[in-house]
Structure 1
Amino acid sequence: MTRNAFVALVTCFNEDETINFEATRAQVRRQVAAGNNIMCAGTNGDFTALTHEEKIRLTEHVVDEVAGRAKVIVNAGMPATFETVQLAKEFDRIGVDGIAVITPFFIACMQDGLVRHFSTVADAVKTPVYLYDIPARTQNHIEPATAAKLAGHGNIAGIKDSGGAQETLAAYLQVSKENPGFEVYSGPDHLVLWSLQNGAAGCISGLGNALPHVLAGILAAFNSGDIAEAERQQAIYTAFRTDLYALGFAPAMVKRSLYLQDKSVGASRQPALLPDEAQDEKIREILKKYDLL
């Protein structure tokens, strides 16, 4: 099975904080040219700062720009099942390859509530649905046993694990082994190769915004059986991650590192952290270290 890399694409903004669709399209072209697929309106895409209508329009632009040259997954997850279904139906209409559904946030959910939530969304669309677990941000976690239960739903195709714990990722991979057709996509950037070697269908990475060719290189080497090259590329990816993420909130650092390479990316909507010149200088030094500036 050929494994796939998706980049959790940044959403580009103008100075007045409106979406810069042309700059976002440019980022899509950059990722597709490198050999990566696209996930839009995810954590690295500032989805919590986007309106309902903006998410729909953003997805339309991304799908149009990709034009069938790569796969597109879009995140529809919202705190309420009602709005999540509304978004999912719009993405179903637009035509994407997968609809990711992040666990509800702000609202504390029991596991049976999560089963109802995901099942209701999956029942409402034809596009395959992917569970999206990132408990550090949502405070709700999909237990492996819950993932196993949902794996039996005919339109739930897999899970994106952004929890960061290798133990949880391993548990999801076991669910995948016991439920053929249920795919696991790893989120932690330092575990891309490990997850592939242990049965993952691929990865969905935010760091790929800054290092698209390295991410694509890990997947290409693994798919061709060149594990030594895959390990070399993973080592670069992990080292860059360690250096960059030591400076602050990971999605903010990724976007800022990309902004310092390409000003058209813009900043994030407030109340995201304001640019800091001292921090920018540290990021520039990291980018120079990896020959990105």
Structure 2
Amino acid sequence: MTAKAFVALVTCFNDDETLNLDATRAQVRRQVQAGNHIMCAGTNGDFTALTFDEKIALTDAVVDEVAGRAQVIVNAGMPATFETLKLAREFDRIGVDGIAVITPYFIACTQDGLIRHFSTVADGVGTPVYLYDIPARTQNHIEPATAAALADHGNIAGIKDSGGGRDTLEDYLAIWTARPDFAVYSGPDHLVHWSLMHGAAGYISGLGNVMPDTLAAILAAHNAGDHAEAERQQDIFGRFRKDLYALGYPPALVKRALFLMDSSVGASRQPALLPDPAQDAAILQILRSYGLAG
């Protein structure tokens, strides 16, 4: 099986915080050129700061720009099943390769509630649905037994695990062992190579916005069986992650680092990270140490 690298693409904004679809298209081209696939409207795409209509416009532009050269997954997850399904149907109409559904946030869910939530969305669209688990942000966790039950749904194709724990990832991978049609994609950037070596179908990375070629190199080396090179590239990726994320909230820092490399991406929507000269200087120093800025 050939593993795939997806980048959880940033959403670009103008100075007045309106969508900048031209700049977003440029980031799509950059990722496709590196050999990566695209996930849009995810955690690193400021999805909680986007309106319903903006998510549709964003996805439409990304799919149009990709033009079949890569796969596109889009996150439809919202706190309520009703709006999640409405979004998912719009993405189904646009024609994406997969619809990710992040666990509801703010609303505390039982495991039965999660099964009903994901099943309702998967019942309502023809596009394959992927569960998206990131409990540190949503406070709701898809237990492995719940994921196993949902794997029996004919239109739930896999899971994106952004929990960060190897034990849970191993439990999800055990489902894949029993159900090869249930793909497991890992999310934490320090586990790219480890997850691939343990059977993950691929990776969905936020840090790949800043280091697209390094992410692609990990996957290319792994797929070629050159695990020493994959580990070397992972070491670079992991050290950069540790240095950058030591400064604060990861998605905002990824966006700010990319902004310092290319200001056309714009800042994050407020109340996320504010520009700060001292912090920008620290980010620039990290970028320069990895050859990412002049």
Task: Sort the TM-score into its range (normalised by shorter chain).
Answer: over 0.9
Deviation digits for residues 122-151 of structure 1 (CA, Å, limit 9, x no counterpart): 000000000000001100000000000000
Deviation digits for residues 238-278 of structure 1 (CA, Å, limit 9, x no counterpart): 00000000000000111111000000011011111211110
Deviation digits for residues 79-129 of structure 1 (CA, Å, limit 9, x no counterpart): 000000000000000000000000000000000000000000000000000
| Cα distance in 1 for residues equivalent to 2:121 and 2:43 | 20
Instruction: Tell me the residue number matched to 2:164.
Output: 164
2:169 partner amino acid: L
Instruction: Tell me the residue number matched to 1:57.
Output: 57
Instruction: Tell me the residue number matched to 1:132.
Output: 132
| Cα distance in 2 for residues equivalent to 1:269 and 1:283 | 19
Instruction: Tell me the residue number matched to 1:72.
Output: 72
2:71 partner amino acid: K
Deviation digits for residues 162-200 of structure 1 (CA, Å, limit 9, x no counterpart): 011111111111111112200000000010000000000
1:251 partner amino acid: P
SS at match of 1:213: helix
2:44 partner amino acid: N
1:235 partner amino acid: D
Correspondence list, 1:1-293, <5 A: 1-293=1-293
Compute the TM-score of the two structures, normalised by the length of structure 1.
Answer: 0.99
Compute the TM-score of the two structures, normalised by the length of structure 2.
Answer: 0.99
C-alpha deviation, 1:10, in angstroms: 0.1
| Cα distance in 1 for residues equivalent to 2:142 and 2:189 | 20
1:173 partner amino acid: L
SS at match of 1:252: helix
Query: What RMSD, in angstroms, separates the aligned Cα atoms of the two structures?
Result: 0.5
| Cα distance in 2 for residues equivalent to 1:249 and 1:170 | 26
C-alpha deviation, 1:229, in angstroms: 0.7
| Cα distance in 2 for residues equivalent to 1:250 and 1:220 | 25
C-alpha deviation, 1:7, in angstroms: 0.1
| Cα distance in 2 for residues equivalent to 1:128 and 1:23 | 28
Identify the range of structure 1 (133-142 vs 174-183) with the bigger mean alpha-carbon deviation: 174-183
1:194 partner amino acid: W
| Cα distance in 2 for residues equivalent to 1:272 and 1:234 | 28
1:112 partner amino acid: D
2:198 partner amino acid: N
C-alpha deviation, 1:45, in angstroms: 0.2
Q: Which runs of 5+ in 1 are unaligned?
A: none
SS at match of 1:260: helix
Runs of 4+ with deviation above 4 angstroms? none
Q: Which runs of 5+ in 2 are unaligned?
A: none
Question: Percent same amino acid among aligned pairs?
Answer: 76
| Cα distance in 2 for residues equivalent to 1:154 and 1:280 | 47
| Cα distance in 2 for residues equivalent to 1:68 and 1:273 | 34
Identify the range of structure 1 (148-157 vs 169-178) with the bigger mean alpha-carbon deviation: 169-178
SS at match of 2:261: coil
| Cα distance in 2 for residues equivalent to 1:220 and 1:179 | 25
1:130 partner amino acid: Y
| Cα distance in 1 for residues equivalent to 2:64 and 2:40 | 13
Identify the range of structure 1 (175-184 vs 89-98) with the bigger mean alpha-carbon deviation: 175-184
